[in-house]
Amino acid sequence: MKKITVNLSFYNQSEVLIKQVKGWKSWAKEIKDQFTFCIVDDCSKVPAMETLKDVDMSDVDVSVYRVKEDLYCNIAGVRNLSAKECKTEWMVILDMDTFVSEDLAGAMLALLNYRDNACYKFNRRVPSDPSHPKNGQQHPAVCLLKLEDYWKVGGCEEDLVGHYGWTDPSFWHRSIGKLDVLLCSDLFLDYIPEGEADINRDNSHNQRLFEEKKRTGDWSTDFVRFEWEKVY
């Protein structure tokens, strides 16, 4: 029985995508069989399926979706699409710069139904460079939560699409009083520096928009505003 969907956002990090899928393939069968995987290709220059053409995915339950329009910083839209297509009770929001090991996957299964409204967050470790500034630091986005709780918060704010930043703070701000956010300080994501997207990180526009929405409470409910297709 599938218990958790890993929702992975992909944008142009082809080599890291191959590492992600090969990592899932390496998990023990008794763990892997309880997971399903969703890759959303945010209109990458080299499509996800082209990147994965030589990777045998027959032993992982994976679905791949492709956004048809290259919208700048479409993080919120991609996450909402993966949640819209999610078929399991629980899901992981995963970024390309983080890797879920087999040990962490097993620990995630043990956390299910531990308490109501729980949302679990994790610290990062950097196996390639223990002195890296993000080693031991909490990831701002990656979490394990129930699908229904994701939508109870209101999903991710798609009015932020088109500019960089504040997708995560807007979600966590709206989660107050709705989710019991717990940091699993002894469980670690593997951080992959080369998985970070090479983009302009000026977040001033979205910071102003976030502050305005926080003041007015005018959060959007217009989800998945773009054309997309299931490609695998």
Q: Is pLDDT above 90 for 127?
A: no
Average pLDDT for residues 16-21, to the nearest whole number?
A: 97
The residue range of the domain holding 56 is 4-230
Alpha helices by DSSP H, listed for 8-112, are 14-26, 29-32, 48-51, 75-85, 102-111
* Distance separating alpha carbons of residues 138 and 141, to the nearest angstrom: 9
C-alpha Rg value of the chain to the nearest Å: 17
DSSP secondary-structure letter at 180?
A: E
DSSP secondary-structure letter at 137?
A: P
pTM reported for the whole predicted model: 0.95
Tell me which residue of 152, 155, 154 sits closest to 80, measured CA to CA: 155
**Choice among 93-102, 124-133, 159-168, 173-182 with the minimum mean pLDDT:** 124-133
Q: Max CA-CA distance within the chain?
A: 50
Residue 121 phi, psi (nearest 5): -115, 165
Q: What is the CATH number of the domain that holds 83?
A: 3.90.550.10
* Distance separating alpha carbons of residues 102 and 28, to the nearest angstrom: 7
Report residue 3 as tokens: 């218990």
User: What's the number of domains the chain is made of?
Assistant: 1
pLDDT (0 to 100) of residue 195: 66
Q: Is pLDDT above 80 for 198?
A: no
Report residue 119 as tokens: 């949302």
Give per-residue pLDDT as tens, 205-222.
Answer: 999 999 999 999 999 999
Report residue 116 as tokens: 């109501």
- Hey, is 39 helix, strand or coil? strand
